[in-house]
Homo-oligomer: A and B are copies of this chain.
């Protein structure tokens, strides 16, 4: 965990003024830069010390065999694991005779700044070598949002007080040594030497390396090029080897004199293209980057972000940590997705190898909602990636004896990669989550072409799965048995309420969407009878209810199970999965992460307000939040049922998840869905935002600790601004045609004139209890240190 205060709280920057080597890996994740195609962890320029060196290309993975103590039919044979590709971030510095290494000598000052508007990571270090030679090093890096293949580093060495001899070795290094990941099942299987050299060459003040993977059949090219400004007697040498490209720049600096280097990086990869084609692609990208120059790239970066923030910014008054966190979150969500372009958005983005770089359901359920309303094209691109993987998902369904498509629980390229089926293969809800993301995107954009060309097929193939997976029972109810819902502390249960409700929406929407695109429906083989069967199943969907307790069981029979012994569970026994056997977790009432409560959010239309309040309170006492995917949803429901202080607590928990490393694994990468959850907790939670059928609804209410909340959204071509203070909400149409909007149930037409409405009092009820020791308490943690 990162000790407070790791990062100085500012509204638009993540600022670090102390370098804590114990949390270096965490800071590398926090300071990661990416554009959805290329990702660079925030490693120090000189390469060492490091927590985890990381340079990633979206969808560049290696295959590793999955070994089973007892294998079973249909188990996946191979994992796809994201690999650390050629590192181009390296700029090693020799000061007089000694390597610039902050573990030696004296680091007189240190600063790193992630600038959320500039889209850059800047560093400034004042260091004195063990021999007593002082030097100032400045670097700024960016991963370009406008030139997808390109990253650039502006690096400067300045002599102070006395002259010095400086040698900079700017490198490309493949097959870097990475640390052993240990035993935690959530960590990646980091691969030693995953790349095989195919080509290396020097080109002027640059170099290009081309490598192939051993088993997955991919080829990766990395190139660098430099613009060097220094004293007249600066010497430059270039050399290359299979795993190393090196430009050596030697100079002498007088006090106040600087060596200024701009390093351009370009990356390309392909499963199809030849070595020369990839080589040329990288050389061309470098040429374009050089033409733009550092200043051009930096200006484009800021312009791109300005446009993003115009439609995405969230302002929070009264809680500066949450203010910082939500912008940090939006920045990372945006940069993980911006240029993914029909490639997946991984659970950790391109910030680390946690979960092997896999993508899960949380991309659709948590990340895409944010993108849908802030950068809708990125949401469409991510769903188009899902569409591209339909052949694998159909194969998977066939292997399981089902119809339609069964999307994999975790994957990079589309094939299932889970080694434990009860919490993966059986978690069929991912199909409905993808369908829901399609519906949300289409509702938010009216993108009919997408609906016709991609959406309908996704809805159809997932609806077909549900028809094959469920069956009408003797009483006519449509049952879906033996599946696992979002809560990973239960598995293989009948009629999971979340799954059944999401499947119901999926089935209904497939039928309705087919009706809107009759020609495409015919092409997909959808008959009237099939659409009718979807509607039948949806209408008859079985939603169990426990009349004795007056709550919905998470799954059929859940509320009959023994409650977990929370009183007997010690604080250090969380997360429970590392201290208790699945058999015990599965058979008891204990919830890892919002499941029924997620249904209360995403299928709120299926519950009365009274049911929501009762269900929420019931599951609060069972939910331990051993997953990062829970507090945001609990914040949303707490806000909806009027528990605003509790909502604020959950909001703060999710806000500080990565900035404070609350889950103790930020070192392996950021929790992208939890970052998205900060926006969800604010906008859907405190803002009460719900959308559907072309209408935006808000039920804003603020807790006492947040005095103001303003956010912007894109919806059906409009740009809206919503701002809330304690007593008043204001709605403004910043661009686009008038739109129907609801405020606490009252619908009005929002035109050019802003509309103000009073915020009604929240209903009052007792604060729900959480399991002993599991109440959210980040407000206490946030106190300044003594």
Contact = CB atoms under 8 A, between A and B. Distances in A.
A757 interface: no
B71 A68 contact: no
Interface string A394-438: 000001110000000000000000111110011000000000000
Contact of A418 (B70, B482, B580, B586): B70
B419 A69 contact: yes
Given A557-B557, A586-B482, A586-B492, A419 B68 contact: yes
A401 B564 CA distance: 11
Interface in A544-586: 548, 556-557, 560-562, 577-584, 586
A425 B670 CA distance: 35
A471 interface: yes
A426 B587 CA distance: 10
B584 A400 contact: yes
Contacts of A400: 581, 583-584
Contact of A66 (B66, B69, B183, B420): B69
Given A492-B586, A494-B560, A562-B471, A419 B70 contact: yes
Contact of A183 (B71, B481, B482): B71
A479 B583 CA distance: 15
A66 to B, nearest CB: 4
Interface stretch (A72-80, A121-129, A443-451, A616-624): A72-80
- Interface-centre pick from A73, A474, A577 (highest chain B CB count, 10 A): A73
A560 B473 contact: yes
A587 B492 contact: yes
A581 B72 contact: yes
Contacts of A557: 494, 556-557
A491 interface: yes
A587 B481 contact: yes
A777 interface: no
Contacts of A577: 72-73
Contacts of A580: 73-74, 401
Interface in A47-94: 66-75, 79
Given A422-B422, A491-B492, A587-B481, A401 B72 contact: no
A185 interface: yes
A72 B183 contact: no
Nearest to A423: B70
A578 to B, nearest CB: 6
Nearest to A66: B69
A185 B71 contact: yes
Contact of A479 (B75, B494, B560): B560
Given A67-B69, A185-B71, A426-B583, A492 B492 contact: yes
B420 A72 contact: yes
Contacts of A548: 474
A264 B582 CA distance: 52
A556 B492 CA distance: 14
B581 A73 contact: yes
A73 B579 contact: yes
A399 B73 contact: no
A425 B585 CA distance: 13
B67 A67 contact: yes
Contact of A399 (B69, B483, B581): B581
A400 B586 CA distance: 12
A579 B580 CA distance: 32
- Interface-centre pick from A183, A586, A587 (highest chain B CB count, 10 A): A587
A738 to B, nearest CB: 50
Contacts of A582: 72-73, 421
Contacts of A74: 580-581
A413 B582 CA distance: 25
A561 B68 contact: no
Contacts of A73: 577-582
B492 A401 contact: no
A426 to B, nearest CB: 5
Given A69-B420, A72-B185, A185-B70, A482 B587 contact: yes
A547 to B, nearest CB: 12
A184 to B, nearest CB: 9
A613 B580 CA distance: 42
B70 A420 contact: yes
Contacts of A68: 67-69, 419-420
Contacts of A556: 557
Contacts of A185: 70-72
Contact of A583 (B474, B492, B562): B492
A55 to B, nearest CB: 27
A448 B708 CA distance: 80
- Interface-centre pick from A474, A561, A582 (highest chain B CB count, 10 A): A582
A579 to B, nearest CB: 6
A166 to B, nearest CB: 49
Contacts of A579: 73
A667 to B, nearest CB: 20
Q: Which 7 A-B pairs have the closest CB atoms?
A: A69-B419, A482-B587, A70-B419, A70-B420, A66-B69, A74-B581, A67-B67
9 contacts: A66-B69, A67-B68, A68-B419, A69-B79, A70-B418, A70-B420, A73-B581, A492-B586, A492-B587
Interface of A: 66-75, 79, 183, 185, 399-401, 418-422, 425-426, 471, 473-474, 479, 481-483, 491-492, 494, 548, 556-557, 560-562, 577-584, 586-588
